[in-house]
A and B are shown apart, each in its own frame.
Chain A
Amino acid sequence: MSKSPTGKIVMMQGNDACAEGAIWAGCRFFAGYPITPSSEIAEYLVRKLPKIGGTFIQMEDEIAAMGAIIGASLAGAKALTATSGPGFSLKQENLGHAVMAEVPCVVVDVQRGGPSTGTPTLPAQMDMQQARWGSHGDHGVIALSAASAQEMFEQTIRAFNLAETYMTPVILLFDEIVGHMTERMVLPEKGSVEIVNRRHPEKSPDKYFPYEKTENGIPILANFGTGYRYNVTGLCHDDSGFPTNDSKKIEANIIHLTEKIERHRKDIIRWRELYLDGAEVAVFAYGGVARSARRAVKECREAGIKAGLFEPTTIWPFPSEEILDIAGRVKAFVVPELNLGQMAREVELAAKCRAEIHKVNRVDGDPITPKQIVDKIREVV
């Protein structure tokens, strides 16, 4: 992410910034279903996409929207859907199909409170683990977060780039705080943003195997209708794309789906740090909560308390190595979240008992204030 982008200064809502980012990334297909607090993304794209030759469709349900973007992607379009908690639950089966069939696409989840209908208009971060384990079966997952409208724009572009690079669905775990916040942002200059496009097979159709691994371990799927006739399935398959019952091939298939993400952790994992050098307490915060956390650590430093911030912008794969490293240097982690500790679990696992873990949780629909975080830091030191 560029630190201080130059370009056109605009006021934009986070959800609109996400939609605009999708267009910049080359997204030309959107299928969705109305759900608060993500609907602005659909409402933005329905107006923009047909003007640039793209397609928007409001499907009959969330499941259909997920299916439609997989179909569109296989036909060659960069494709997006957007939803929130209940819709994200409904999408899980087809999300697993995209994982299994290695179809690039992007799924936005502007989180609200759950379970069930929960709190449609209030902020929460309750789908963090659903993004990791919501669909059945073992597989790797890429999920990103954002703390500003600017970052929703940039992370949406990055999500498409990662999807095309690793041939996988990428999840954008946003939250209502940022999604519905209108603020200043910079639309970069045209051509200044890196865009990754899908690779096309170089082999002739008779020598082509859709799931054959290339030099980076990632397959190349030809677009439908380009002369490469192959099979796509959610069944365990071999390199040819056809179902298999061969135990060795099944094992290779499943291990690949995790390994292809894990092997590229260094490329995928990104984070920001604030005052972490010499910190006694490290705050781990993401999304809308990170904004309060930044203020909190600044206030602490001003008061002479050695607090720092680790702000992951990649949620999955989880930055375990980075957390372990910090754990060896700090007394404790403070993990503020709009859930009951979904990512604190991961921090605790990664820290391997080298640092204490203290949680700050809020599930009443209100944001976490800087003061709540400061109070916890004071208590810990």
Chain B
Amino acid sequence: MFNYLDYVREKNLPHIWCSGCGDGIILKALIRSLKKLGISKDEAVMVSGIGCASRTAGYIDINTLHTTHGRAIAFATGVKLAKPNLHVIVVTGDGDATAIGGNHYIHAARRNIDLTVLLYNNFIYGMTGGQVSPTTPRGKMASTAPFGNLEPSFNIAGLAQAAGASFVALGDVYHVQQLDKLIASALQKKGFSVVEILTPCPTAYGRRNKQATPVDMMNWLKDNVVLKDKLDKMAEDEKAGKIASGVLWDVEKPEFTSEYGKLIARLKTEKQTKE
């Protein structure tokens, strides 16, 4: 039988996540993917920012770096460039990656550096108590949007695609088998890969937005997150409020770390030729 504890720092349990939070489901999906791909714990690095999602780094038994708010991708860029053979996984949230860390998110995508970004989207700042985030849907309630959110929300998967990422997917913690496949594909992709993962926050988001129980939130994911191919075939009136999941974008393009490695090799050859 598969033993998750082989990949978990058991002494740090119980975790700090609330009942009904989906973050633990993502951690388990990641562990299964690492195991399946045969990525050793020593060659995997998790770099995280600040927020509930970023606390994942404390529980998984690989090399872990918990950084500052929004900056995980910048730190991860340094790790990857200094040791390109490491599998560098960034764990971040919607606020962390697309508000305070938005600049690093788009530039790492543009650079197409080989990082796997697991972006937990719970539509809210959970750890600080439920403030509105760049992905909070319009009209939804938050502690800093008590009259309903006036701002449109980011399409964070589309943002990565437009900025230059080579792999973009969307999954959620209800459709777990699909999530496993998406994380594994992202880990295997040589290039900047993003998996946006919808995950419930009943404590800070659901209770303000008529989804007070974890079951309500899971049901919402079940009913509204639909495979992209299936969604494309649906009638227009059925599409309303639905979110496309699966691999949304997957292209081959030059990856930054490899390109830099080629530059080093080229300069070495030129030097030898001169000598």
Query: Which among B67, B83, B107 is the interface contact of A60 at CB below 8 angstroms?
Result: B107
Kindly state whether residue A10 has any CB partner on chain B within 8 Å.
no
Task: List which A141-166 residues lie within 8 A (CB) of chain B.
Answer: none
Q: Is the CB of A64 within 8 A of B66?
A: no
Question: Chain A residues near B85 (CB, 8 Å)?
Answer: 225
Q: Is the CB of A231 within 8 A of B74?
A: no
Kindly state whether residue B3 has any CB partner on chain A within 8 Å.
no
Q: Is the CB of B41 within 8 A of A71?
A: no
Query: Which among B66, B77, B271 is the interface contact of A51 at CB below 8 angstroms?
Result: B271
Kindly state whether residue A304 has any CB partner on chain B within 8 Å.
no
Task: List which B48-80 residues lie within 8 A (CB) of chain A.
Answer: 57-58, 61-68, 71, 74-80
Interface size, chain B (Cβ < 8 Å): 39
Docked Cα-Cα span, A55 to B83, in Å, equals 10
Question: Chain A residues near B21 (CB, 8 Å)?
Answer: none
Q: Determine chain B's interface SS by DSSP, over half rule.
A: helix
Chain A window 212-247, contacts with chain B (Cβ cutoff 8 Å), 1 for yes, 0 for no: 000000000001111101111111000000110000
Query: Which among A53, A63, A68 is the interface contact of B77 at CB below 8 angstroms?
Result: A68
Kindly state whether residue A367 has any CB partner on chain B within 8 Å.
no
Q: Is the CB of A61 within 8 A of B103?
A: yes
Q: Is the CB of B103 within 8 A of A55?
A: no
Q: Is the CB of A29 within 8 A of B82?
A: yes
Question: Chain A residues near B66 (CB, 8 Å)?
Answer: 231-235
Docked Cα-Cα span, A93 to B101, in Å, equals 14
Kindly state whether residue B81 has any CB partner on chain A within 8 Å.
yes
Q: Is the CB of A224 within 8 A of B271?
A: no
Docked Cα-Cα span, A232 to B85, in Å, equals 20
Question: Chain A residues near B37 (CB, 8 Å)?
Answer: none
User: Do A242 and B271 form a contact, CB below 8 Å, given A57-B77, A67-B71, A93-B68?
Assistant: no
Q: Is the CB of A225 within 8 A of B71?
A: no
Docked Cα-Cα span, A233 to B66, in Å, equals 5
Question: Chain B residues near A73 (CB, 8 Å)?
Answer: 78, 82
User: Do A71 and B75 form a contact, CB below 8 Å, given A53-B264, A77-B82, A231-B66?
Assistant: yes
Query: Which among B42, B57, B74, B107 is the interface contact of A71 at CB below 8 angstroms?
Result: B74
Kindly state whether residue A79 has any CB partner on chain B within 8 Å.
yes
Question: Chain A residues near B165 (CB, 8 Å)?
Answer: none
- Closest residue of A by beta carbon distance from B103: A60
Kindly state whether residue B267 has any CB partner on chain A within 8 Å.
yes
Query: Which among B64, B74, B264, B268 is the interface contact of A67 at CB below 8 angstroms?
Result: B74
* Further contacts, 17 of them, CB under 8 A, given A76-B82, A234-B67: A31-B77, A50-B260, A51-B268, A51-B271, A59-B107, A63-B71, A65-B74, A67-B77, A71-B65, A71-B78, A74-B79, A97-B68, A224-B86, A229-B42, A231-B57, A231-B64, A233-B57
Q: Which residues of B contact A (CB under 8 A)?
A: 9, 12, 41-43, 45, 47, 57-58, 61-68, 71, 74-83, 85-86, 103-104, 107, 260, 263-264, 267-268, 271
